[in-house]
């Protein structure tokens, strides 16, 4: 048996060497010119980091997530390939005797040959980015395959080294997707094209309500930018004594366009005023997280200003909880604590890790409540309601592909016992929460949620805590509000 295994291994090695020598002996000016340059630019993953930088600099949120996933996967793959696999299998590099001098790379490798680190990083990046943003999967995999080919044609690796590296990089990306699931591909139902309103290059007809002190003075930056680029806009500055709701409605009553600069809670008040006055809303991001502005295509500030100048807009849904609107999310009970802890830590830890930490903190001190949803009773610790479907699934909802799907996104989590808490935390850590039996998710245009025991619970809309209630009647008024958005932001 051992002799048979040795013979098979020797046969495979002979085939490996034959393929390498065949490629090396191929005379081709194109290979001589392209392959060394391609293999050099892939050194230290410079090629992939450059692509990640371009994706991260875009305004597309899916592209940013893809870039982050790609870079993280390269880091993990490089560690495994260079610090583990190459130390275990110390295969020598191929002989360069048959490789044309013009085809040799600028930097000859000195490490062991198996597996190919270049191929591993290439496959890791292409697979990871493709999982997060499928439209890039084929072109990136094709580019990664060419990088792998370049490692053989320039004499750096045997074909089996490249194949092993490719399998390693792909495996690390797939495991990463299990631990931190990517957002689902965009729905086949896409938002309609941009609505063309009257262009307002100087801001005429715009009444902008702004809190100069919002988010450590971000409101002041909005004031300066709007004053400079939209000089004909009317500015209404809020003070500590202002009754925000009254100011919004009074401003909307005389505006052709109601503008607002503030956090999501202030934007929600402005949305109600704009809806009542039947005027479009222009959102100028000036809050801490600006969730609605980002999803609506009015972020960053220059995009919001450009939308008003050009008159580009879209229709978005308004969701109602007990006849009061919310633009992003609503919640009851301790989910408000979960969100506060997650958002306080996500810039330092990243959203998945912050969600895990927030889940641990919240679940360990939470008190479950029983709710009835459309005649089904469930015991829940965390309850989240989104206006339109959020991505990704599970308890780290981050963004929406569209704001006009006419649906509520209800997510409930039950961890009412110590054992349930442990299994939920394990599922959260491994990215399997969306499939856990104690996690429930529904999408519907209307819902009725009743608190079965424990009395009234706190209600929060767009991060602001409001009244207590025992019954939550939820509905969506589809495409009820016109909101300015930059035509180039998706």
In Å, how far from its chain's centre is CA 383?
21
267 close to 245: Cβ distance less than 8 angstroms: no
Strand partners, 385: 330, 410
183 close to 65: Cβ distance less than 8 angstroms: yes
470 close to 442: Cβ distance less than 8 angstroms: no
Same domain, 125 and 209: no
Would you say residue 205 lies in a domain?
Answer: yes
HEC string of 249-279 equals HHHHHCCCEEEEEECHHHHHHHHHHHHHHCC
Same domain, 244 and 334: no
Would you say residue 487 lies in a domain?
Answer: no
Strand partners, 209: 236, 260
Q: What is residue 424's predicted lDDT score, i.e. its pLDDT? A: 59
Residue that is last in its domain, among 150, 179, 208 = 179
CATH number at residue 436: 2.60.200.40
Q: What is residue 23's predicted lDDT score, i.e. its pLDDT? A: 66
Same domain, 156 and 199: no
Domain that includes residue 206, residue range: 195-318
Q: What is residue 189's predicted lDDT score, i.e. its pLDDT? A: 44
Residue that is last in its domain, among 147, 179, 211 = 179
Would you say residue 221 lies in a domain?
Answer: yes
Same domain, 30 and 132: yes
Same domain, 35 and 55: yes
Same domain, 434 and 309: no
370 close to 377: Cβ distance less than 8 angstroms: yes
Strand partners, 333: 382
**Where does 293-428 show beta strands of DSSP type E?**
312-321, 324-326, 329-333, 369-373, 376-380, 382-387, 408-413
408 close to 330: Cβ distance less than 8 angstroms: no
Same domain, 407 and 266: no
Q: What is residue 384's predicted lDDT score, i.e. its pLDDT? A: 87
CATH number at residue 27: 1.20.144.10
DSSP 322: T
Q: What is residue 33's predicted lDDT score, i.e. its pLDDT? A: 72
Domain count, the chain: 3
pTM, 2 dp: 0.65
List the Cα angle 391/436/349 in 5-degree steps. Answer: 50
Report how far residue 267's alpha carbon sits from residue 99's, in angstroms, rounded to the nearest whole number.
65
Q: What is residue 19's predicted lDDT score, i.e. its pLDDT? A: 66
412 close to 382: Cβ distance less than 8 angstroms: yes
284 close to 260: Cβ distance less than 8 angstroms: yes
Tell me which H or E stretch contains 190.
none
Same domain, 122 and 214: no
93 Cβ neighbours under 8 A, 6+ residues apart:
109, 112, 113, 155, 156, 157
Same domain, 340 and 257: no
Report how far residue 394's alpha carbon sits from residue 382's, in angstroms, rounded to the nearest whole number.
12
CATH number at residue 309: 3.40.50.10330
In Å, how far from its chain's centre is CA 336?
21
222 Cβ neighbours under 8 A, 6+ residues apart:
210, 261, 284, 285, 286, 301
Same domain, 164 and 42: yes
Same domain, 438 and 400: yes
Would you say residue 92 lies in a domain?
Answer: yes
109 vs 92, 158, 241, 398, CA distance in Å?
11, 13, 69, 42
312 close to 484: Cβ distance less than 8 angstroms: yes
pLDDT averaged over 10-residue windows placed end to end, the chain, 490 residues: 57 64 68 76 87 85 86 91 80 68 66 82 92 87 87 77 88 85 61 81 95 72 90 91 92 96 90 96 89 90 94 96 94 71 73 70 71 82 88 76 92 68 59 65 91 82 83 94 82
Report how far residue 308's alpha carbon sits from residue 255's, in angstroms, rounded to the nearest whole number.
14
Helix (H, G, I), strand (E, B) or coil at 483: strand
Is there a cis peptide before residue 35, judged by omega within 30 degrees of 0?
A: no
Would you say residue 476 lies in a domain?
Answer: no
């Amino acid at each position: 048996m051992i002799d048979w295994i040795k013979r098979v291994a020797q046969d495979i090695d002979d085939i490996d060497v034959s393929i390498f020598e065949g490629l090396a002996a191929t005379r081709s000016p194109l290979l001589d010119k392209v392959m060394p340059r391609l293999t050099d630019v892939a050194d230290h993953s410079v090629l992939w980091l450059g692509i990640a930088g371009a994706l991260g600099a875009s305004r597309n949120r899916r592209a940013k997530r893809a870039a982050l996933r790609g870079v993280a996967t390269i880091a993990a793959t490089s560690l495994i390939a260079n610090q583990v696999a190459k130390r275990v299998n110390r295969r020598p590099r191929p002989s360069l005797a048959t490789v044309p001098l013009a085809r040799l790379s600028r930097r000859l490798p000195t490490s062991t040959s198996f597996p190919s680190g270049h191929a591993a990083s290439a496959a890791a990046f292409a697979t990871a980015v493709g999982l997060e943003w499928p439209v890039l999967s084929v072109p990136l995999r094709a580019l990664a395959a060419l990088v792998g080919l370049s490692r053989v044609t320039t004499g750096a690796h045997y074909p089996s080294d490249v194949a092993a590296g490719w399998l390693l990089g792909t495996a690390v990306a797939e495991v990463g997707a299990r631990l931190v699931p990517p957002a689902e591909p965009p729905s086949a139902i896409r938002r309609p094209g941009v609505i063309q309103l009257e262009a307002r290059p100087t801001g005429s007809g715009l009444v902008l309500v702004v809190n100069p002190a919002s988010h450590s003075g971000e409101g002041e930056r909005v004031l300066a930018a709007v004053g400079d680029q939209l000089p004909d806009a009317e500015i209404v500055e809020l003070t500590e004594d202002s009754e925000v709701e009254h100011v919004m409605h009074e401003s909307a009553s005389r505006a052709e366009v109601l503008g607002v600069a503030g956090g999501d809670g202030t934007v929600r008040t402005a949305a109600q005023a704009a809806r009542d006055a039947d005027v479009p809303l222009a959102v100028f991001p000036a809050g801490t997280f600006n969730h609605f502005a980002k999803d609506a295509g009015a972020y960053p500030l220059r995009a919001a200003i450009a939308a008003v100048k050009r008159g580009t807009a879209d229709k978005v849904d308004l969701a109602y909880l007990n006849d009061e609107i919310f633009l992003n999310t609503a919640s009851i009970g301790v989910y408000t604590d979960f969100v506060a802890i997650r958002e306080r830590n996500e810039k330092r830890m990243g959203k998945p890790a912050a969600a895990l930490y927030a889940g641990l903190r919240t679940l360990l001190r939470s008190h479950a409540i029983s709710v009835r949803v459309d005649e089904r009773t469930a015991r829940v610790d965390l309850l989240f309601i989104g206006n339109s479907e959020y991505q990704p699934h599970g308890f780290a909802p981050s963004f929406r592909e569209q704001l006009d799907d006419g649906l509520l996104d209800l997510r409930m989590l039950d961890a009412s016992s110590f054992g349930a808490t442990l299994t939920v935390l394990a599922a959260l850590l491994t990215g399997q929460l969306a499939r856990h039996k104690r996690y429930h998710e529904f999408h519907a245009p209307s819902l009725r949620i009743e608190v079965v025991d424990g009395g009234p619970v706190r209600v929060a809309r767009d991060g602001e805590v409001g009244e207590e209630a025992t019954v939550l009647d939820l509905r969506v008024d589809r495409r009820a509000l016109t909101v300015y958005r930059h035509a180039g932001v998706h």
